[in-house]
Amino acid sequence: MKERRQIHLALIPDGNRRWGRLHNKPEWYGHYVGAKKMEKFIKWCLEHKEIKAVSIYALSTENLNRNQKELDELWNVYKKHLLKALKSKKFRDNKIRVNVVGDSAIWRSDVRQAAKALMKATHNYTRGAVNILLAYGSKFEIASAVKKVLKFGIKSVPFLEDALIKYLMVNKPVDLIVRTGGMQRLSNFLLYQSAYAEIYFSKTLWPDFSRKEFEKILNWYYNQERKLGK
């Protein structure tokens, strides 16, 4: 195995609704099961010290077109687990900063409050970061960054690209993207940051994703020859 370099891991946890249907449950029930799996996933990542950042696609801008019942249950999931993270020792003990980003103007108010509280509590931690992308879309992110560049100018940075990166919601390049659920697409997720990322598509529905498969994917990644466009 090659030397384990530091990585920014990005996750598209797809398959919650299909899992619900397969188990004769409402589609939204799969999100509750998926959220519990996410807690385990973050724990697995924290046990790998070389993973310095994790970015999680929690809710896309396109997902906002789903039926109101599912959206209400999704907001309930986010509120519950953001507040749970606020009380958890794992981020504090590991000095992990949590960033919740996306179109915050359309977050439900109680979710917005929970997100702000969690970000404030972990703001000064620098050992690693967990980015939760909520009501997020890469096109929206890039357009918002361009608007800020036009508004504030680029006097403080030497190049336009540097200015754009400064205003992105996630400004570190992604090394590895994992998408579960069998679909082979990025779905408007961190398109700028993932220019040279390795991509692993898992057939496993997110609630069934296992520690064994997680380790398999990491081993696969570390054995890739990364050329980064060279």
Query: Is residue 150 assigned to a domain?
Result: no
Query: Is residue 132 assigned to a domain?
Result: yes
Query: Is residue 166 assigned to a domain?
Result: no
How many residues does this entry show for the chain?
230
Query: Is residue 228 assigned to a domain?
Result: no
Query: Is residue 13 assigned to a domain?
Result: yes
pLDDT at 154: 66
Q: Which domain holds residue 79?
A: 7-136+176-222
Q: What is the pLDDT of residues 66-114, one digit of tens each?
A: 999 999 999 999 999 999 999 989 999 999 999 999 999 999 999 999 9
Q: What is the CATH number of the domain that holds 13?
A: 3.40.1180.10
Query: Is residue 170 assigned to a domain?
Result: no
Lowest-confidence region among 58-67, 71-80, 195-204: 58-67
Query: Is residue 214 assigned to a domain?
Result: yes
pTM of the model: 0.93
Q: How far apart are CA 172 and CA 164, in angstroms?
A: 12
pLDDT at 1: 44
Measured in degrees and rounded to the nearest 5, phi and psi for residue 66 equal -75, 170
Catalytic residue among 14, 16, 99, 175, which? 14
Measured in degrees and rounded to the nearest 5, phi and psi for residue 104 equal -65, -20
Q: How far apart are CA 50 and CA 126, in angstroms?
A: 14
110 tagged catalytic: no
Catalytic residue among 63, 76, 94, 188, which? 63
**Number of domains present in the structure of the chain:** 1
Q: How far apart are CA 63 and CA 73, in angstroms?
A: 13
Query: Is residue 93 assigned to a domain?
Result: yes
Which position has the higher pLDDT, 153 or 109? 109
